[in-house]
Structure 1
Amino acid sequence: MISDDVAAFSQALPDGGRLLGLDIGTKTVGMALCDSNWTFATAAETIERRKFSKDLERIKTVIAEQNIVGLVAGLPLNLDGSQSQQTQAARSFAQNLKPLGLPILLWDERWSTQAVTRDLIASDVSRKKRAKVVDKMAAAYILQGAIDRLAALP
């Protein structure tokens, strides 16, 4: 199940369980994890994109090690809400994850990288260090937005 409907995603999940957030880029995939009560998201790691099969193996390993019950994939929409080539690439990546058998939520991530970059600059993190952490932190930002929304469901 792949959806941008938070309520449908919630219904497809068991009660509780860890979620894996993904910031899908052309060169990297940032990953973040949340606790089983869906209260906070934490940046986990960034993987360099290679062949999809290699990316998938790492994602599968994280899913198994962390007992992941669902995925939240960032969906990079244009500022006006329209779709772009990056949006289609993220949708294709999510579609390729469907055989994992986990529910997948596509989450609007328009401001994630900018917000994280702004916070890192405000914290006086060097450009070199920012480049190493921005994708996994953007994944945490995406995942936190999704779990906050899940918590607000009736």
Structure 2
Amino acid sequence: MRELLWRKEDCQKFYQEHEGRFFYQRLVEFMASGPIRAYILARKDAIQLWRTLMGPTRVFQARHVAPDSIRGSFGLTDTRNTTHGSDSVVSASREIAAFFPDFSEQRWYEEEEPQLRCGPVRYSPEGGIHCVAGAADPGPACRRPVGL
């Protein structure tokens, strides 16, 4: 997990694919208006699961078809819908790099992901990461705050 404040320029770069669309300026202004929490979710079908938890992009629709979703519960408008989620593995890689520039997906898959498959996992609130529970040496997954 990473909490950050984005500058307007950061938001413009992140949402550049939407430049010229009617909602672009409002989206950029909103995203630069306060703190952001970014997470890397790691599990089978993480993208689809997160998109289900978020609910539809349009808040009105979310309130009717997925009222218990994040957007159905907390969204204000289609632009201020409380959450963002990658729509594909390719988008996730690009977006992870934007929020976590020091994170290496390849290193995570090679070094950290196998550790997390070895047994129970615990959450470390200090680092905002998950670690193998009960490990004598917490290993690199617990020493580097890469998020999970």
Tell whether the structures are fold-level matches, with TM greater than 0.5: no
Greater relative contact order (Cα < 8 A, sep 6+)? 1
TM-score, length-scaled by structure 1: 0.28
Bigger-Rg structure (1/2):
2
TM-score, length-scaled by structure 2: 0.29
Query: Which has more strand, going by share of residues?
Result: 1
